[in-house]
Structure 1
């Protein structure tokens, strides 16, 4: 038996740190305003959702572009494979949600396409290291958001299928939150030459994702002829202020020199969320 075959067999014995779950949600019966029964809330989270199919495909490409350089770390390599599998499932399910949302004439798929055009332009412009850093930074941003989703925000979602979509996604974002960061650190270290681009690209990424999510919300509100619904905007403004008081300090923890995604432990809320949506830890398939 050749050395390469033995090496591959040895690699296959290393389990991934988390599973890849194949989900098939059906959204046909969702109400028009499935978050807090309000257009502003619903359109904000729909707008955020439209970032995921193309955004997570971009994340996958960014880690694949450098994956060959981490083959000497079998555990990290296996976890990158599981990260790719989870992100692929997130893209698939959020896209299915957007297709179903077409029934209300809001065309969220067009926002997906706009996101893809912009991200492909960024990908062509940035070197591989910077594209990986966009992924690293936005994985932290998402990891912060999903904890609030699991603790509180999901309770605003009146449609069970959509709530389960967001909670399943939240669980998996927590499971793989350190993979891209560990890949970056493995490749580029912890020195100042790794830290400065890390926080610089994160600052840019924060501006981009905040701009996109707010602009997409306004676009969807306009398409729904709810742009001047001041009562709904006022409710959403109160929710936003309350949420960001908790979220901003956690976003900014990324600027610490000694930051690592696993500094925080979400195991309790993840366990409760899995029970809430009936998610079995054994429900998994590995995708390369």
Structure 2
């Protein structure tokens, strides 16, 4: 009985927030007033509805094996809640973007087909590891989003969507990793597949993002916009100079997502979008 009472007192380390953004009067180029920038972030966004659903499935399949760890079990529940809201809100954004005739919603389906094929082929451990890898990629990206990139977003609702998403990705960035360590430990036989699947996750997310970006650019008839490409390529080069050391950190034997403290960025971002909790 005392153990049951203990369990009821355990709460998740972060909240699940119920959001309902309204993407009305969405400008066509809402990032830096530029087509290539905008289509890159829209392409990245098209990965989220199906990608987050895949993450949820990967942790749900293994959750029952760690219910002895009450804190981790509660955090997995909150992780599922946050990721489900991200899927919902990014899907709503894509539906609203249909007004510009670029049909980003169709690109969600490509991601879904790809991930469902991977899910069928991979064992549960590898699906969890792919989630771990993409979660680290996302954690690196959203730190940059909170620090600088959000200032490029000229539409307030879109900016708030990305900042809210960034805050929550930072809050739950260690959950899938902690689930993996709880199940498989941190010795060499856990380390080797961890770094191998992280490398694969970088390839998958890079290919899917840039293929979707090119599709959107082609649909918008902006493939030959040299000035826009030049600005974006400089931005991309500068970004990867920042990202690469953080990606390399994942290959450390003793790596943990909480090695990096983004609490100041999170508090600043919460204040910017008036997020109280």
User: Which TM class, normalised by the smaller chain length?
Assistant: over 0.9
Superposition deviation, residue 135 in structure 1: 0.4
1:249 aligns with 2:245: yes
Superposition deviation, residue 15 in structure 1: 1.3
Superposition deviation, residue 28 in structure 1: 1.5
Which range moves more in the overlay, 10-19 or 239-248?
10-19
1:228 aligns with 2:224: yes
The residue aligned with 1:31 is 27
Match of 1:115 among 106, 111, 115: 111
Match of 2:81 among 82, 85, 96: 85
1:263 aligns with 2:269: no
The residue aligned with 2:93 is 97
Superposition deviation, residue 84 in structure 1: 0.3
For normalisation by structure 1, the TM-score amounts to: 0.95
Superposition deviation, residue 267 in structure 1: 0.6
1:58 aligns with 2:54: yes
Alpha-carbon separation, structure 2, partners of 1:189 and 1:208: 26
SS of the residue 1:36 aligns to: coil
SS of the residue 1:65 aligns to: helix
Alpha-carbon separation, structure 1, partners of 2:201 and 2:133: 7
SS of the residue 2:173 aligns to: coil
Superposition deviation, residue 251 in structure 1: 1.1
Alpha-carbon separation, structure 2, partners of 1:186 and 1:168: 28
**Residues 174-229 of structure 1 deviation map (CA, whole Å, 9 limit, x = unaligned):** 00000000000000001100000000011111011011111111000000111111
> Which blocks of at least 5 consecutive residues in structure 2 are unaligned?
none
Runs of 4+ in structure 1 off by over 4 angstroms are 6-9
The residue aligned with 1:160 is 156
SS of the residue 1:19 aligns to: coil
Alpha-carbon separation, structure 2, partners of 1:269 and 1:205: 26
**Count of residues in correspondence between the two structures:** 277
Superposition deviation, residue 7 in structure 1: 5.0
Task: Give the alignment's Cα RMSD to 1 decimal.
Answer: 0.9
The residue aligned with 1:213 is 209
Structure ranking higher on relative contact order (CA contacts 8 Å, 6+ apart): 1
Superposition deviation, residue 30 in structure 1: 1.3
For normalisation by structure 2, the TM-score amounts to: 0.99
1:129 aligns with 2:132: no
Superposition deviation, residue 12 in structure 1: 2.4
Alpha-carbon separation, structure 2, partners of 1:7 and 1:123: 36
> Which blocks of at least 5 consecutive residues in structure 1 are unaligned?
282-288
